[in-house]
Structure 1
Amino acid sequence: MIPQLRSFLAVLEEGSLHRAADRLNISQSALSRQMQALEHEVGGALLNRSSTGVQATPGGRALAERTQQLLESYDANLRDVRRIIRGDDQELRIGYLGSAFEDHFAPALEAFSRLKPETKVKLIDLFPSEQIIELRRGNLDMALTLELGNLLGRDFHTKKVAEVSSVVCLASEHPLASRQTIALAELKDETFLIASDSEHFGLRRRMTQLCQTFGKFRPKISGTSEDLSDAFTAVANEGFVVVMPAFLRDQKRPGMVIIPVCDEGATWDLIVAWHKGDSAKPLRTLLDTLS
């Protein structure tokens, strides 16, 4: 029943079977079958379904209240058992964004190593979307990633590590390429490109928010590229524009310039995320070094 209970909480958080299915990366019909099986198991309706979405019945609310604590305890104990089976109960597995590591995580990790020299730290360079998957599978103890809205749901704690400014990627021949800084409003008539959500989840959403908030326009997005490398090639050769966090500024390419955004508040939140209920001492010590 564990997968069904996780899916049930996701449905309540999203208020929609469709949105919950997208978040869980399963079909809506499969999610509906899970909810029907769960209702059969408890012996009654848990959800009121309507054309505007779904809401919990009284029984559904009661189950949700009890389920969250149950899952936190289950996950914490399962992680402890996995550590014992692997023989590495003194190991921390951390997913991270390679470009953000040196500036925003390396100092805390150095301090942690002095405090806990007996703890082995395994660092895994992953895209944000991969980090979510590996966190949910229990293959990571912590992730250093971009703020992901409600995608992490109630299963994880998060903590902001840094507020990162924005930069703009332009072709070297672009009229604004010689500028020291750029305001987002100056990009109103440009065509934007973004890496696919399959790798850098959250970039499109945040870029759109920034353009709307600080530039007062909705960006015209031509499409997505498979990765940032392809996006930069398109910037240099086809004149597209990319807005991204400043920790990616070292990703330079011939024929392209990277210029800081001058709008105050046009930033990205870099966070760490970890499982609720995980009270392992090494993890708590690492979190303290990030304070």
Structure 2
Amino acid sequence: MELRHLRYFVAVAESGGFSRAARRLYVSQSALSEQIADLEAELGVQLFDRSRLRAALTAPGELFLKEARKVLGSADQAMKVARDSASGDLGEIRIGFFTGGVGPNFSRLIQRFRQAHPRVRISLHEMIPALQWKALAEGRIDIAFTRRLGVSNDAHLRVEVLRKDPLYAVLPRNHPLAPGPVDVRALANERFVLCVRETSPALFDKVIEMCSEAGFSPEIANTANVWSSIVMLVQAGEGISILPTNTLQELPKSGLAFCPLKQKNAWVELVMAWSPERESTVLHHLQQIIREAGGRV
């Protein structure tokens, strides 16, 4: 039994005869009669009483009509779901992000995507960059807004740079180098407060790299897991720090000077990463919104 048999059966039942149903279906009456006969033979049940002028349903035919309509309705719904999914109007997308990388525009872009695709289920997962890359590789998220790892260990992932966040020196306001700009070489004798590498390897490695290029290895006086704690430690006199400028907008500034760095490589990238093996139309729709915003997330 095929859906075609059910459609033919329902058409004959609703039309009240084979000739009218044949015209409705654009098939010959003989072909239609043959298909219904095949259906009845497979079921072992007579569905129509052909002794009358009209093709009247038998009692089993009446019950079969109700079930056939349910089956055809489910089949039509399944086709609609498949088409909506293929067009990106239905589905799910799991998004990884970290608060130190995305800004206030990120929530507005997600809201824009929700409005454009209200039947797509969005799951937002806040996690540090290292865990985002792991989640991408394992297929637990579909896209990540994150920093690059020091060394990419998964060639199967695609990466698109959204922006370069400038790095600033975070100094006590009365520091001799404030308000800057500051040459990293002038920080050789300073104590540093850094974000732990496990939390932000890109930032940690960039600071070490710039200090090495400036001819010294930084004395790390303290570390913290979040940037607000780093700022608090600088305020407490533990040392100085280097942070991306986008994070400084939301951090307390009392008693501090945020100074741009003179080095041309004083930046860290914010990237959009995903697995080409799990690309979908839904993912492409989100990426289009991000790109139309110029990567300002």
TM range (shorter): 0.5 to 0.7
Contact 1:252/1:258 (8 A) holds in 2? no
Q: 2 CA distance for matches of 1:92 and 1:262? A: 40
Given that 1:166 and 1:245 are in contact with CA atoms closer than 8 Å, whether structure 2 keeps it comes out as: yes
User: Which residue of structure 1 lines up, in the alignment, with residue 149 of structure 2?
Assistant: 148
The DSSP-based 3-state class of the residue aligned with 1:207 is helix
Q: Which residue of 2 aligns with 1:168?
A: 169
**Displacement, 1:236?**
1.4
Shift of 1:197: 2.2
Match of 1:273 in 2: 273
The aligned counterpart of 1:95 is: 96
Aligned to 1:188: 188
**1 CA distance for matches of 2:171 and 2:181?**
12
2:172 touches 2:257 (CA, 8 Å); kept in 1?
Answer: yes
Give the distance between the partners of 1:156 and 1:167, measured in 2 at CA.
30
Aligned to 1:35: none
In structure 1, how many angstroms separate the alpha carbons of the residues matched to 2:285 and 2:210?
A: 35
Deviation string for 1:39-60 (max 9, x for gaps)?
Answer: xxxxxxxxxxxxxxxxxxxxxx
SS of 2:199's partner is coil
Structure 2 counterparts to residues 122-271 of structure 1, below 5 A: 122-177=123-178, 179-213=179-213, 215-250=214-249, 251-271=251-271
Write the distance in 2 (CA, Å) between the matches of 1:221 and 1:248. Answer: 21
Separation in 2 of the partners of 1:126 and 1:281? 25
Deviation per CA, 1:157-216: give whole Å up to 9, x if none: 111111111111112332223x14222222122121212123223221111122334x34
Alpha carbons of structure 1 residues 236 and 148: separation in structure 2 relative to 1, 3 Å: same
Offset, 1:145? 0.8
Shift of 1:115: 4.3
Distance of aligned partners of 1:216 and 1:108 in 2 relative to their CA distance in 1, 3 Å threshold: farther
SS in 2 for 1:262: coil
Retained in 2: the 8 A contact 1:170–1:239? Answer: no
Cα deviation digits, residues 109-130 of structure 1 (max 9, x gap): 4554454343232222222123
Answering whether residue 290 of structure 2 is matched by residue 290 of structure 1, we say yes
| Deviation of the 1:220 alpha carbon | 2.7
Q: Provide the TM-score with structure 1 as the length reference.
A: 0.61
For 2:210 and 2:90, how far apart are their aligned partners in 1?
A: 42
Q: Give the CA deviation at 1:223.
A: 4.4
> What's the CA shift string for 1:69-101, capped at 9, x where partnerless?
xxxxxxxxxxxxxxx9xxx97121111122432
Assess, with a 3 A threshold, how the Cα gap between structure 1 residues 170 and 193 changes in structure 2: closer, same or farther: same
Tell me if the contact between 1:172 and 1:255 (Cα under 8 Å) persists in the aligned partners. yes
Q: CA RMSD in A?
A: 2.8
Q: Which sections of structure 1, spanning at least 5 residues, go unmatched?
A: 1-83
Q: 1:226 to 1:114 in 2, by over 3 A?
A: closer
Shift of 1:283: 0.6
Is the Cα contact below 8 Å between 2:137 and 2:154 reproduced in 1? no
Alpha-carbon distance, 1:281 to partner: 0.8
5 Å matches for 1:33-52?
Answer: none
The normalised TM-score by structure 2 is: 0.59
Percent identity at matched positions?
21
